[in-house]
């Protein structure tokens, strides 16, 4: 009986060891790509055979003149391949080459890791490094608050028209005079009726000041003070939206700042091709939903062509725009077609509910707009109809946009919608790759210091706890490897120098786990238990203490992660992952190692004579 | 208990009470400094002036940093692009650091570099206003959740002790940064979070021991129980804090300027946290009138079942 129980236990333990070994191996492989570095390969292809071949010497000479260094240059009559070690140089080298050889050659570039082939085939990626360690991309966005003000005034003008129509008040003219004012004229017969309308306008738009121009003419205008306020509000909202978008992408250590009066400065870590980043931010897009006009002759109609060349006529009044969207997720309908599920906030929900009730069976148009700068440096709006959907039922605050062209398109749209819509046109005015904000010396010193710190800890543990200390050290090392592996698996995790320090400090937590266990074992041994049962009991009773301590820290970590931003979020992520790995390695890995190495016939353990 | 041991525990009790009052005084001092001096918020929080310029020669970042440090009166953040020819300098917006708006022309005369000014503009903070509100909310929520969890696992008086110790640690570190006018940036904020983790860890381990001893000995006075708990966890506390402090000291001495604020925050935080796990989180439950009855009542309830 006794015998079969011990063999069952042994079999159980063996399985547990196998699982632990598999997990550790998986983490090790995930962490491995961090040992290798990425290289940039720029390929120049000869456009026609008549062009002269470029010789490596020429390129080296050209690069040296501009303080750039290539790792390797290979050349043949078909084209030239340049390998760069320094990723931050990519942009400037490409620009330089384009200027010099752009006429005769076409360019392509790719990023290649120097990891062995088997590792690449597993598709592992190294952790992204933060702005302080490896630089990134800088964007300066211009927010056209003037245009936003003008759009807002235009919107108010059309809403006043609608209001007058509703109240059956005849106005002779409602005209947007300039960016911030509207002129209204009315016939003398409507004097009293207008007074009524005027109070209504005052209540709906308290930011506007009314001024009598003539007998029957009035201007509504934003005062200078209100204009400043409007611009500030717009900037604040835009900044918030852009931060939201970057966060949606999972990049935790980006820097977003307001620059001057109407610019936004964004520094994105871990991205070295500005074009890539530009595509991901999608910062310049906004979204509006329109009703298709029934009567093509009525006032205020926008015409637009969809991708099939059909001309759509829409009421100029927006049903609701992207800023009412609370949540958006991409998904599939019953037929497996991609769609985007939307949830609106209470304001948008009410609007949608009222609108859809009246318009069942009628189409609604989704318009995606993007702003860019043309050659004359003017902001130009490019709008595109992305979807025309029929309203099939009375909709509330939840509904979906169907007819998406692909799952990828649905995902992209959901991302943009989630992060909020921009009220002001935004264009990119500057983009540049930036170098690491900490110099190489600082980074080297930091890494050196951390190595010294870890070594002190490891030496102490081995000295103080002897055999068990060595086991603890193996557990600590596997803790670091597991943490690195986990962070490499997460696409959004970015490592900064303080982040690395935080990583090293999780070693402190792992040390704590081991020390708690060992002190327990010592207590059990002093009470006269045998080695193996002392170890078993020590691990068991220390576990509840460890669990309590770690769960509370985890609670803090999770709350900080869900609410925090930027560096705080990055740190919270490292903290939470560190707790998980230190529990795993401190308890399970070191227990397995102890079981494998410590035998019953010891004469002394942890300084206790047996 | 023999006479010597009794004397020892008495000494420990006295030490604990004395350090509790000490801790209270320090907390008040820190709060005083926070209220009247405030924190010296870094660029991440305040925003400031951004000056961009290009140099004809390519210069390493360290060299440029050295040149600017000897020229500019206050701290600044430097970043470079295009192989050390395009520079951005960010300065805090206060009287001390703004050496007139024309510092760049002076600098180009003194440094002997060919400098072309590009842009000089005011730049906003890295963190939005909403973060400050949300941050406060986050701290409050986490404190409440932790209080609930610990009350559920331990006893409310032990939980209150841990949370008070947590507040004490954070306030003292903030007080140190305020008192010595050290720059408080996002990295320091992150290290405060780490301190919260460590502080809770220490308190819980002492609390856990108190609970265990209370379950075992019914007769002992609470004072003796707490003293025993502290004595039996002291080795663990010293080893954990000691190895962590050693790592932080290594960062402080060898990692240079870039991580020194981080190291100062963590060093003081862990030192204070170790101290408060004895002085506050173990003493407060005693002052609040914790007795061993709590756990025995629970046991009796269970025993009554057939």
Q: Give DSSP secondary structure letters for A501-537.
A: HHHHHHHHHHHHHHHHHHHHHHHHHHTT--HHHHHHH
**Contact criterion met (CB < 8 Å) for A432 and B82:** yes
pLDDT for position A564: 67
Looking at beta carbons, which residues of chain A come within 8 Å of B195?
none
Could you read off the pLDDT of A340-367 as tens digits, one per residue? 888 887 777 887 888 888 877 777 888 8
Least CB–CB distance from A568: residue in B122, B137, B186: B186
Q: Do B124 and B47 form a contact (C-beta atoms < 8 A)?
A: yes
User: What's the half-sphere exposure (Cβ side, CA atoms, 13 Å) at A272?
Assistant: 25
Q: Which residue has the tokens 């009628």?
A: A362
Distances (CA, A) of B150 to B12, B23, B46, B213, B239: 26, 23, 37, 17, 25
Identify the bridge partners of residue A434 per DSSP, sorted by sequence position. A136, B81
Neighbours of A220 (CB within 10 A): 25
Q: Shortest CA distance to B137 belongs to which of A165, A259, A560, A545?
A: A560
- Asked if residue A482 lies in contact with residue A509, where contact means CB atoms within 8 angstroms, the answer is no
Mean pLDDT of B258-264: 87
For residue A418, pLDDT over 90 is answered with no
Q: Which residue of A has its CA nearest to B252?
A: A449
Q: Which residue has the higher pLDDT, A582 or A398?
A: A582
Interface touch B242/A442, C-beta < 8 Å: no
Residue A604: which H helix or E strand, with range?
Answer: strand A604-605
Q: Confirm or reject contact between B215 and chain A (CB < 8 A).
A: no
Write the residue in B60, B197, B239 that is nearest to A553 by C-beta.
B197
Least CB-CB distance to B142: which of A433, A437, A555?
A555
Q: Considering chain A, what percentage of its residues have pLDDT values greater than 90? A: 6
Residue-level length of chain A: 610
- CA nearest to B142 within chain A: A556
Spatial CA neighbour of B158 closest among B304, B280, B305, B259: B280
Residue B265, CB-side half-sphere exposure with 13 Å CA sphere: 28
Domain with CATH 1.20.1640.10 in chain B: 8-41+128-304
| CATH 3.30.70.3190 residue spans of chain B | 48-123
**Chosen from A239, A243, A257, A268 to mutate, greatest number of chain B CBs within 10 A:** A257
pLDDT of residue A2: 45
Quote the pLDDT of residue A323. 66
Mean pLDDT of chain B: 82
Per CB-CB distance under 8 Å, the chain A contacts of B81 are 88, 135, 138, 432-435
- Assess A257–B contact: CB distance below 8 Å, yes or no: yes
* A441 part of contact set with chain B, CB < 8 Å: yes
Contact A60, A70 (CB under 8 A): yes
Please report the domains of chain A, with CATH numbers, ordered by start residue.
2-34+438-609 (1.20.1640.10), 37-114 (3.30.70.260), 146-227 (3.30.70), 285-434 (3.30.1360.200)
φ and ψ of B226, to 5 deg: -65, -40
Residues 557-586 of A with CB under 8 A from B: 557, 559-560, 562-568, 570-572, 575
Separation of alpha carbons A461 and A469, rounded Å = 5
Which chain B residue's Cα is nearest to A565? B131
Mean pLDDT of chain A: 79
CB contacts, 8 Å: B125 with chain A: 257-258
Q: Using a CB-CB distance cutoff of 8 angstroms, which residues of chain B are in contact with residue A464?
A: 239
pLDDT recorded at residue B297? 63
Chain B: residue whose CA lies nearest to A465:
B239
* pLDDT for the residue B131: 65
A66: pLDDT strictly greater than 80: no
Global confidence as pTM: 0.75
A371 has pLDDT over 60: yes
Chain B residues in contact with A501 by the CB 8 A cut-off are 251, 255, 259, 262
| CB distance A63 to A96 below 8 Å | yes
Instruction: Examine the pLDDT at B171 and tell me if it is beyond 90.
Output: yes
pLDDT for the residue A362: 79
Whether A469 and chain B come into contact, CB under 8 Å, resolves to no
Whether A304 and A291 have beta carbons less than 8 Å apart is answered as no
Residue B1: pLDDT band with limits 50, 70, 90: very low
Contacts B205 to A, Cβ<8 Å:
516, 545, 549
Interface of B with A in 216-235 (CB under 8 A): 232-233, 235
Which has more confidence, A77 or B206? B206
Residues 14-33 of B with CB under 8 A from A: none
Please give the structure tokens belonging to residue A298: 């009525």
The CATH number of B48-123 is: 3.30.70.3190
Chain B: closest CA distance from residue A441 (Å): 8
Q: How far, CA to CA in Å, does A524 sit from each of A411, A465, A519, A557, B214? A: 57, 16, 9, 33, 18
* Inter-chain Cβ pairs, chain A and chain B, closer than 8 A: 235
Share of chain B above pLDDT 90, in %: 18
Neighbours of A219 (CB within 10 A): 15
- Residue B306, pLDDT above cutoff 50: no
Question: What would the pLDDT profile of A253-284 be if each residue is shown by its tens digit?
Answer: 788 888 888 888 888 887 766 666 665 565 55
CB nearest to A446's CB, from B146, B190, B259:
B259
- Mutating which of B77, B201, B273 best tests the A interface, going by the most A Cβ atoms within 10 A? B201
Beta-sheet pairing, A173-178 with A181-185: antiparallel
Judge whether A429 is closer than 8 Å to chain B, CB to CB: no
Q: To the nearest whole angstrom, how far is the Cα of B87 from the nearest Cα of chain A? A: 10
Tokens of A155: 């919107």
Which residues 124-153 of chain B have a CB within 8 Å of chain A? 124-128, 130-131, 134-135, 137-138, 141-142, 145-146, 149-150, 153
Contacts (Cβ under 8 Å, ≥6 apart) of B292: B214, B217, B218, B220, B222, B225
Which residues from chain B sit within 8 angstroms of residue A526, using beta carbons? Answer: none
Are the beta carbons of A515 and B236 separated by less than 8 Å?
yes
Pairwise pLDDT comparison (B4 vs A325), residue with the higher score: A325
- Tell me which chain A residues have a C-beta less than 8 angstroms from the C-beta of B141: 559, 563
If one looks up domain B8-41+128-304 in CATH, what number appears?
1.20.1640.10
pLDDT given for residue B270 in this prediction: 92
Q: Which of residues 95 through 134 in chain A touch B, CB cutoff 8 A?
A: 132
Give the pLDDT band of residue A285 (cuts 50, 70, 90). Answer: low
Does the pLDDT at position A511 exceed 70?
yes
A261, closest residue in chain B (CA to CA): B122
List the beta strands (DSSP E) in A226-337: 255-259, 263-269, 285-292, 301-305, 311-321, 325-332
> What's the Rg (C-alpha) of chain B?
26
Q: Is B253 on the interface with A (CB under 8 A)?
A: yes
Helix (H), strand (E), coil (C) string for A62-101:
HHHHCCCCCCEEEECCCEEEEEECCHHHHHHHHHHHHHHH
Whether residue A545 and residue B208 make contact (CB cut-off 8 A), yes or no, is yes
The answer to whether residue B128 scores a pLDDT higher than 70 is no
Closest-approach residue (CA) in chain A for B77 = A437
The alpha carbon of residue A555 is apart from the nearest alpha carbon of chain B, in Å, by 7
Report the C-alpha gap between B85 and B53 in whole angstroms. Answer: 8
B interface test, pick of A247, A505, A538 with most B CB neighbours within 10 Å: A505
Rounded Cα distance, A580 and A550, in Å: 9
Please compute the mean of the pLDDT values over residues B21-26 and round it to a whole number.
93
């Amino acid at each position: 009986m006794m015998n079969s129980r011990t063999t069952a236990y042994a079999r159980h333990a063996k399985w547990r060891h196998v699982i632990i070994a598999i997990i550790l191996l998986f983490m090790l492989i995930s962490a491995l790509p961090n040992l290798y570095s990425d290289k940039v390969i720029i390929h120049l292809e000869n456009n026609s055979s008549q062009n002269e071949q470029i010789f490596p010497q020429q390129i080296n000479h050209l690069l040296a003149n501009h303080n750039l260094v290539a790792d390797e240059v290979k050349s043949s009559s078909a084209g030239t391949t340049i390998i760069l070690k320094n990723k931050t140089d990519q942009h400037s080298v490409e620009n330089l080459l384009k200027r010099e050889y752009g006429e005769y050659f076409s360019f392509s570039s790719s990023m290649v890791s120097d990891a062995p082939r088997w590792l690449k085939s597993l598709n592992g990626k190294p952790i992204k490094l933060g702005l302080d360690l490896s630089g990134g991309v800088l964007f300066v966005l211009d927010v056209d608050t003037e245009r936003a003000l003008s759009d807002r005034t235009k919107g108010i003008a059309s809403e006043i028209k609608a209001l007058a129509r509703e109240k059956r008040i005849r106005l002779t003219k409602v005209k947007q005079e300039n960016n911030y004012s509207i002129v209204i004229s009315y016939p003398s017969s409507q004097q009293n009726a207008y007074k009524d309308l005027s109070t209504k306008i005052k209540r709906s738009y308290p930011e506007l000041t009314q001024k009598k121009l003539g007998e029957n003419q009035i201007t509504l205008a934003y005062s200078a003070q209100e204009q400043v306020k409007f611009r500030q509000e717009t900037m604040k909202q835009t900044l918030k939206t852009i931060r939201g978008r970057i966060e949606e992408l999972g990049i935790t250590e980006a820097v977003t700042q307001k620059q001057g009066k109407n610019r936004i400065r964004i520094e994105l870590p871990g991205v070295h091709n500005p074009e890539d980043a530009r595509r991901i931010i999608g910062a310049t897009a906004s979204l509006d939903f329109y009703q298709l006009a029934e009567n093509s002759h009525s006032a205020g109609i926008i015409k637009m062509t969809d991708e099939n060349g059909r001309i759509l006529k829409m009421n100029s009044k927006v049903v609701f725009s992207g800023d009412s969207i609370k949540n958006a997720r991409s998904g599939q309908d019953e037929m497996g077609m991609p769609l985007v599920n939307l949830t609106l906030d209470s304001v948008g929900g009410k609007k949608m509910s009222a609108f859809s009730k009246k318009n069942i069976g009628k189409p609604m148009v989704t318009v995606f707009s993007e702003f860019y700068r043309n050659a004359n440096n003017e902001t130009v709006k490019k709008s595109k109809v992305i979807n025309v959907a029929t309203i099939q039922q009375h909709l509330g605050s939840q509904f979906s946009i169907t007819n998406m062209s692909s799952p990828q398109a649905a995902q992209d749209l959901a991302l943009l919608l989630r992060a909020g819509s921009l009220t002001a046109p935004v264009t990119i005015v500057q983009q540049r790759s930036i170098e690491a904000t900490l110099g190489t010396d600082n980074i080297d010193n930091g890494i050196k210091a951390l190595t010294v710190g870890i070594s002190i800890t490891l030496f102490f543990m081995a000295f103080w706890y002897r055999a068990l200390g060595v086991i603890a050290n193996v557990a600590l090392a596997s803790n670091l490897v597991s943490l690195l592996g986990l962070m490499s698996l997460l696409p959004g995790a970015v490592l900064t120098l303080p982040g690395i320090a935080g990583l090293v400090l999780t070693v402190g937590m792992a040390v704590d786990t081991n020390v708690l266990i060992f002190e327990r074992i010592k207590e059990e041994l002093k009470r006269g238990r045998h080695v193996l049962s002392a170890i078993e009991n020590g691990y068991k009773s220390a576990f509840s203490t460890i669990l309590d301590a770690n769960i509370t820290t985890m609670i803090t970590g999770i709350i900080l992660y869900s609410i925090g931003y930027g560096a705080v979020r990055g740190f919270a992520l490292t903290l939470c992952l560190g707790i998980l790995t230190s529990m795993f390695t401190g308890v399970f890995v070191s227990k397995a190692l102890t079981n494998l190495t410590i035998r019953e016939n010891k004469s002394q353990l942890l300084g206790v004579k047996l | 208990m023999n006479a010597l041991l009794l004397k020892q525990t008495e000494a420990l009790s006295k030490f604990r009470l004395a350090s509790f009052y000490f801790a209270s005084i320090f907390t008040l001092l820190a709060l005083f400094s926070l209220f009247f001096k405030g924190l010296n918020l870094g660029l991440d929080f305040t925003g400031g002036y951004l000056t961009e310029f290009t140099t004809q020669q390519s210069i390493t970042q360290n060299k440029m940093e050295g040149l600017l440090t000897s020229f500019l009166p206050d701290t600044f953040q430097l970043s470079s692009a295009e192989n050390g020819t395009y520079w951005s300098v960010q300065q805090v917006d206060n009287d001390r650091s703004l050496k007139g708006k024309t510092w760049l022309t002076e600098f180009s005369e003194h440094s002997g570099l060919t400098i072309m000014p590009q842009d000089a503009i005011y730049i906003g903070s890295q963190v939005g206003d909403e973060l400050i509100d949300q941050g406060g909310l986050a701290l409050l929520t986490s404190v409440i959740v932790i209080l609930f969890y610990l009350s559920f696992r331990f006893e409310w008086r032990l939980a209150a002790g841990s949370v008070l110790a947590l507040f004490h640690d954070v306030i003292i570190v903030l007080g140190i940064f305020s008192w010595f006018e050290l720059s408080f940036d996002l990295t320091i904020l992150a290290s405060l979070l780490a301190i919260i983790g460590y502080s809770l860890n220490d308190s819980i381990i002492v609390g856990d021991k108190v609970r265990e001893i209370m379950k075992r000995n019914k007769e002992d006075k609470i004072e003796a129980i707490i003293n025993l708990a502290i004595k039996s966890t002291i080795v663990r506390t010293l080893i954990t804090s000691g190895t962590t402090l050693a790592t932080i000291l290594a960062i402080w001495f060898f990692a240079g300027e870039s991580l020194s604020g981080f190291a100062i925050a963590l060093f003081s935080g862990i030192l204070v946290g170790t101290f408060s796990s004895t002085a506050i989180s173990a003493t407060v439950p005693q002052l609040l009138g914790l007795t061993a009855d709590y756990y025995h009542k629970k046991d009796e309830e269970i025993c009554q079942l057939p």
